[in-house]
Each structure stands twice: as C-alpha cells, then as structure tokens.
Structure 1
Amino acid sequence: MFCSHIELKTQWDHPKTGKKKRVAGDLPYGWERETDDNGQVYFVDHINKRTTYLDPRLAFTVEEASEKPNIRQRYDGNSTAMEILQGRDLSGKVVIVTGANTGIGFETARSLALHGAHVVLACRNRARGNVATQKILDEWHKAKVETMTLDLSSLRNVEQFAEAYKTRNLPLHILICNAGVFGSSWQLTEDGLETTFQVNHLGHFYLVQLLQDVLRRSIPSRVIIVSSESHRFTDIKDSSGKLDLSRLSPAKKDYWAMLAYNRSKLCNILFSNELNRRLSPHGVTSNALHPGNMMYTSIHRSWWLYTLLFTLARPFTKSMVSNQLT
C-alpha cells in the first residue's frame, strides 16, 4: 500500500508506474480473521496473543499481473498485415488504396477493412475493383469498402477522382499510393509522358497535391508510398552530375523498362521525403516503403520474361498471405 501524507490518503496503485499490488494467499499460521461489533474486520494472532486491524499479509503483497495482449512484437518475412494489425480498431478511419484490386494493394485494403476502416479501392478497372470489394464483403459483410475509378495514366482522370472524392465530404486519414507498372514497353500516355513514370510517380504526385487539403483537415493523417530498393540502381543526373529531368520521360530510343521503373521508384522516395518535410509540421506525415525483395505479385504481368523469372523465384519469396490465411 502507498501512503500520501500530504493528501492523507492511501492507494494500491503505484503513483508513478501505475502498477498495482494486492494481498494474496492464506493468513500466516496462527492468525484468524474476525469481525468486531461495528462490522470492521480485524486479525487475531493466537500464538502471540495480540490483535490488529492490519492484514498481516500486507508484508507479502504481490504485483497484479497485467494481461498481455496477444500481439506479435517481432515481425519477419512470414508476418502478414492481419497479424500486424491484430488488436487494432480502425473504426472511423478512412483510407484510399490505389491499385487495390490485386496483389499488395488488395491485401492492404482487405486487412484495413477487416479491422474497421472505411476503405476506398481506387482502381483503373472498375469491374475488377468491384470483384475485389465483393471478396472483402464475402469475408465480413459489415466491412466498409467501395470502389472508385482512378486511372493514373490520365491526369484528367486523377482530377476527376479527386473532385468526386471531395464531393463525398469524407475525411482522409491514410492515402496509400500503391498502384504501379513494371516491365512495360515504351508508350506515351494521353498526357504525352512515358507510362511507367506517370503511373508510378507523377499520377500519385498529382493525386496527393489534389487531396492535400483533405489530408490537412483530417489530422493526424499520413501518406504511404510503395517504392522499392531498386531505386538504388539509378539516378536522374547526367554524366557531369547535373540534374537531367529528360531521363524521367525518355524517348523510345533511350528507353529501358527496368531503368524506367528504378527511376520512378527513386522519384517516389524523393517526393515522400520532401512531402514529409513540408506537411509533417501540419500533422500530415509521409513515408516510403520497400515491400520486400522479389515479393510475388502480379506486377510482372506486362512482360512474359519477368513472369517467368517471378515464377521461378516464387518458392523463395514472401507471399501475399501466410499459410494460415490461404
């Protein structure tokens, strides 16, 4: 028991740590519990022929064992989003996940929705997005999930998506920029930009700018950008070390799919760092992540050679879900 002589009170909770103690076990040998005429409990020591109103077990109090939540504290290559979110209640949170109809995006949307978040699956193909939404609803019919059309290869469509979202008057607590292409052949978007650069970086960049006011009204909020360790294998400087922005949307003769992907991922990280620098003082944080070495997803679907390589590597990569969830 802890006594406060200033406030003239006692308590079982430690005043600093909050830990609790309690009496436990039987009374010592020779002691007996009695009640006086006023109904107050006292204790009799028959061996030493004495009485006291203090419980003799107070000298042997034990600390109250707190129940530990069943949450894994260490995560590894076999951890899943469901395990990491275990015990979290995301009710009231609104999340947008781009490219959420398949792969990492779908598992992210699914895990967040099954923990109570209102999740918007922002997908280029609305039909596939609806199928993904229904899969989540089949798993939990109370899930708050919906599909909205977002084509990052069209800046006009990005604007339409942002305007449509704003008309909903919903907050935005988490914006996950996940959608991307890999191994695509050279082609220009309707905006005249190389597709890999626009879909992986510029489309998301524009989306964040258009929704920035919503993010700032929903603080604390965050932007999460799926990048890649492959950003280390490129740069956007010329041979003299000067910044060369023409490399971001190269002509066909200078195009290499893998290099274009690496540069787009580098742009993701540079953007995330600068976004966090500017918005974190206002309650909006930004982080970029590497989803895992050679994680098997459907991102390789653009070219048969990459599909073959990913298939061969699949036994040695992290899957979308663990064995318990498949």
Structure 2
Amino acid sequence: MHNIDSDSDEELPQGWEERATEDGSVYYVNSFTNKIQWVHPQTGRKKVLPKDLPFGWTKSVNEEGETIFIQKETNTTTYLDPRLAFAVDEKEHVHDFRQRFDGSSTAYQILHGIDLSMKYVLITGCNAGIGYETAKSMARHGCNVLFANRNMEATNEAIKQIVQETNACEDNLKAIHCDLSSLESVKKCALAVPTVFAKNLDMVILNAGLFGLPYTETTDQLETIYQVNHLSHMYLALLLEPLLKKGSRVVFVSSESHRYASLQNRFSMQNLAMTKEEYSSMMSYNNSKLYNVITAKMLSEEWKSKGIYVNSLHPGNMVYTNISKSWWLYRLAFLLVRPFTKSLQQAAATTVYVATAAELDGVTGLYFNNCFYCEESALARDKEIAYEVFSMSLKNIVDKVGSEHIQKYCDKYIEKKTPS
C-alpha cells in the first residue's frame, strides 16, 4: 500500500510491501529476501504516519489478539493500518513539503481521511460564501465549529443547513455574536469564547471581509473596510491568544489584491485607513488585504516560540459570493466571470489546507495560494513597513477601546520608536 498522493518515483518495486508498527512507524519488507528497512526502497526517504486514524476508522483487537482496523460506515475490517494511505515523507526542514493540491482541488479533497472530531475552530464570516463552505467542510469531518458572525439569524440558518447537508452533530456547531464594525463587540466575543465554546482553540480562521463599499464609518469612527477586514481581525487574534496552545493555527484570509496596495503618505499621515477625501473602495480593500498578510507575519514571529502558527492566504480570484453585493456593477462583473472562477468548494480549499494539513505542522509566517506557499508582495516583506503597520494598528485599537488584555503588545510597539 502506498501514499495516495504518490508520484511515480514512490511506487514500490516488485516484491516490496509497506507496513506500520504499533507505534506508527513505517517500514518496508522485501518478500523475496525477507529484508526489512526503514527507508523507502525507491526514494531512500523515511515516512511518517498521521497521529490519528483516518476519519471513520477505529482500532480493535480480535479474539486471536491481533490488531484490526474497522471502517465504521461499512463495518469492514483489515489488518493493514489505514494511516499508510496518508503517510508522508519525514521532513528534514520545517518547510520541506511537496505540493499535493492545486487550484482545482476542493476542500473535501483536502480533508479526505482527516478526523477533526477532537478539534475546535472559530471562523468569522461563515454564514455564507467561502466561510460557510469552510465551516461546512470542517463540520462534515467532525470538527467543533464556532460561527463568529454579526447576523445571528442567518448564522442559525446556516448551522441548520450544514447539519442537513452533512449529518454533522448540531451540538458541535455553536454561534457567537461578533460585529467586526465594533471593537467592543469583538472584545465581548473573544472573552465569551471559553464559556460558550471551548477553553482552547486548535484553529482560528479570520475569513470575514467587505469589498466595494462607498465611504462609510463604523461605530468606532473608522473607515469600514479598514476596520472590518483588518483591524478587528487583528484585535480578535490578539484577544484569543490565551486560548491558543502549542500547535494551534491562526489563518488570515487575505487576497492577491494585496499586491496592488498603496501606502503612499500613510505613515506620514499616521493613518492606515483612507480618509473620505482620498477614498477609493478598491484601494481600501487592497490595503486591508496587505495588512492581513503583514499582521500574520508579525504574529507568526511573536508566537513562534509558543508553537502557535500563523499564515495567510488567497482563496481565489473573483469567486462569486456575497462580497460583491454592495454595488450592482460589482455584482455584474462577478456574475460574468463566474464560469471561469473557482467554485465555493475550490475557494475554501486553501483555507482548509492551511488550517489542517499535517505537513504544515511547524510552518508559520507564509502566504499561500492554490494550496501552496508563494512569495508575498515586496511591501508585505518589508520589515520596517510591517513594524509601522502593526504599531499604528495597535494605536488605533488603544485609542478606541484601551489597552486592557493587549498591554504587552502596546508596551513593545507603541512606546518604542524603532524596531528592536
């Protein structure tokens, strides 16, 4: 039995079999010579198994004392460890992994065989669109999902729909109010998570976003796209830090639009958000997506020592969702390109991949597109710009709601004038 994602060079030579020990190590047996070895006879590389059995499998011991594996849905049994189908090469370096999926892959394909029944994820903006597809895909594999949204009625309907479509356990799907246009609402949401959902989070997916709005301001008197897409998500991530543990993953859903951002005069004006006089809805969106990538990179450095991994991604170009609803011209444009863009299942794939893929254990501070990492824009890679964006964002938060719960970051980034 070989890796379902194997290339031709990983096909086992004739007479060789792949097996697993009780503790999950992979070894190879030559039936002609009875030779046993720990490296693949073709590639010379060691392989490792997932820690958990694939979704829907259990392990037992038969009357003869032999270990058997049972597929719960079909009630079939086998002596062969089903994790062998998902064995991957042992990494020599944390970034040593191959591309297994691409832009045509779906979230369901990403999650094939993955058991999320003991995992807890918070997702923003998941009552429709890509966020809904992300939540549905993860719930389908047993994940405990916290829907952090503004519209509770729509959220409850989304949960009911997911239960009907996937047979997910309704008790595993919870809703919490989170209005990203209000920093106070974000704070209330974050502080309530341990009481309504879980004391620890395995994943946080910051997915919600606005696009194409005319100039408006939030209840905090900040430009709406800037706050909803960037500032509130950054604040939420900081507030949720106490619930994150070693191995937790934080995912910022950004966009390739970050490559078209412009920070001209932003720092001299001490204002990351665009003013009414200079406002461009497209540029505000582009900038907010750049801030997403920057925030992910900054937090990846802050939390690396704790084993908390933070990455950002692009889900797909002009995917047909409610994000285009603000203006009829945008709706028309998105509708016209719909046959040529990703489906919602494909658009959710990179998010699900970054949040769950076993080969990304230890991977942090990267930007992903089409289920693989790629280089961000030059602005996103500039450390001085990143420091300014992060510190100015913190100052915005403190000016509106104070520094309670994020004081250590304020001490580090607001008081100091230059990067350490």
TM-score surpassing 0.5? yes
Name whichever of 73-82 and 307-316 sits farther off.
Answer: 73-82
Task: Tell me, yes or no, if the aligned pair for 2:130 and 2:321 is still in contact at 8 Å.
Answer: yes
Aligned length: 266
Q: Report the counterpart of residue 176 of structure 1 in structure 2.
A: 205
Which of 233, 243, 252 in structure 1 is aligned with 2:260?
Answer: 233
User: Is 1:301 equivalent to 2:325 in the alignment?
Assistant: yes
Q: Deviations over 1:111-169 (max 9, x none)?
A: 11111110011111000000111111112142521211110000110011012113345
Which of 156, 159, 170 in structure 2 is aligned with 1:130?
Answer: 156
Q: Report the counterpart of residue 36 of structure 2 in structure 1.
A: none
Task: Tell me, yes or no, if the aligned pair for 2:249 and 2:309 is still in contact at 8 Å.
Answer: yes
Q: Report the counterpart of residue 148 of structure 1 in structure 2.
A: 176
- Aligned pairs for 1:1-326 within 5 A: 18-22=27-31, 69=85, 74-139=100-165, 140-142=167-169, 144-168=172-196, 169-215=198-244, 218-238=245-265, 243-244=267-268, 246=270, 248-321=272-345
Q: Provide the C-alpha distance between the structure 1 equivalents of 2:222 and 2:142, rounded to a whole number of angstroms.
A: 38
DSSP-derived class of the 1:97 partner: strand
Give unpaired runs (5+ residues) of structure 2. 1-17, 34-79, 88-98, 347-420
Name whichever of 74-83 and 272-281 sits farther off.
Answer: 74-83
Give unpaired runs (5+ residues) of structure 1. 1-11, 25-64
TM-score by length of 2: 0.59
DSSP-derived class of the 2:157 partner: helix
Q: Which amino acid aligns with 2:229?
A: N
Q: Which amino acid aligns with 1:102?
A: A
Task: Tell me, yes or no, if the aligned pair for 1:236 and 1:245 is still in contact at 8 Å.
Answer: no
Distance 1:245 1:127, change over 3 A: farther
What is the alpha-carbon root mean square deviation over aligned residues? Answer: 2.7
Q: Provide the C-alpha distance between the structure 2 equivalents of 1:112 and 1:244, rounded to a whole number of angstroms.
A: 43
Task: Tell me, yes or no, if the aligned pair for 2:20 and 2:81 is still in contact at 8 Å.
Answer: no
Name whichever of 229-238 and 124-133 sits farther off.
Answer: 229-238
Q: Provide the C-alpha distance between the structure 1 equivalents of 2:129 and 2:20, rounded to a whole number of angstroms.
A: 49
Q: Provide the C-alpha distance between the structure 1 equivalents of 2:101 and 2:241, rounded to a whole number of angstroms.
A: 32
Q: Provide the C-alpha distance between the structure 2 equivalents of 1:281 and 1:70, rounded to a whole number of angstroms.
A: 29
DSSP-derived class of the 2:201 partner: coil
Percent identity among equivalent residues?
43
TM-score by length of 1: 0.75
